[in-house]
């Protein structure tokens, strides 16, 4: 279950509008598929220390604190989901500006100053890892998440490369609506677990 939840959240994160998505599109259009894929693999590079921090938080905090952290994480996911459904924060791709960020190192820097990974791994991460009943469950959550986000972002790079342009606007909007609903579902699941299953 931890792997599937991580996978679902990773797919949602990969589809959600943000600086990495904009960069993937810009790099793929300007330099080709390989450069778009280089940006797509950034999350495991930048989020590794945050995963370790989330695991330590999950091990050290008492149950009532983890319940509060889990509810905060649920609220963060719900806020992101509602924002996507309302169309807030959708970024237009500026090819000239995005073209300046052409290296993996710059992509790493872009993600390091993005607040979303910190919010996710220090709120959602500890609650899900604490809920897992085994070490395997704690490990499979981040594995599923990174598989989902990297796979989805690589798919975006591939689709842009194949089409040499963005997909039709209505299809992008539909994918983002599904992403918003997925985040709301995950928020409900996390809130339920935080209230009923954590010690």
Paired tokens of 75? 């609220």
Question: Where is average pLDDT lowest: 100-104, 123-127, 137-141?
Answer: 100-104
Helix axes 135-163, 33-40, angle to 10 degrees: 160
Which has more confidence, 25 or 89?
25
Q: How confident is the model at residue 60 (pLDDT cuts 50, 70, 90)?
A: low
Which has more confidence, 137 or 194?
137
Q: Which residue in 56, 77, 68 sits closest to 6, CA to CA? A: 77
In this structure, are residues 40 and 153 in contact, taking their beta carbons and an 8 Å threshold? yes
In this structure, are residues 43 and 111 in contact, taking their beta carbons and an 8 Å threshold? yes
Instruction: Provide the 8-state DSSP code for 103.
Output: S
Residue percentage of the chain with pLDDT more than 70: 71
- Distance (Å) of CA 24 to CA 54, 71, 121: 27, 32, 22
Q: Name every residue whose Cβ is closer than 8 Å to that of residue 32 and which is 6 or more positions away in sequence.
A: 161
Place of tokens 């598929």: 33
């Amino acid at each position: 279950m931890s792997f599937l939840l991580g996978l679902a959240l990773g797919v949602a994160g990969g589809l959600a509008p943000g600086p990495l998505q904009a960069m993937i599109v810009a790099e793929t259009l300007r330099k080709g598929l390989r450069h778009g894929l280089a940006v797509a693999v950034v999350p495991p590079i930048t989020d590794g220390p945050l995963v370790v921090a989330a695991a330590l938080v999950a091990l050290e905090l008492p149950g009532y604190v983890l319940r509060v952290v889990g509810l905060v994480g649920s609220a963060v996911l719900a806020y992101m989901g509602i924002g996507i459904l309302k169309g807030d924060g959708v970024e237009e791709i500026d090819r000239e500006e995005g073209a300046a960020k052409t290296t993996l190192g710059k992509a790493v820097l872009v993600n390091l100053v993005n607040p979303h990974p910190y919010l996710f791994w220090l709120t959602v991460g500890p609650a899900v890892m604490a809920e897992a009943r085994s070490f395997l469950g704690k490990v499979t959550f981040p594995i599923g998440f990174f598989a989902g986000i990297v796979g989805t972002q690589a798919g975006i790079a591939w689709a842009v490369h194949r089409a040499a342009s963005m997909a039709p606007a209505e299809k992008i909007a539909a994918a983002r609506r599904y992403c918003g609903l997925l985040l709301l579902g995950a928020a409900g699941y996390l809130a339920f677990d935080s209230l009923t299953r954590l010690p």
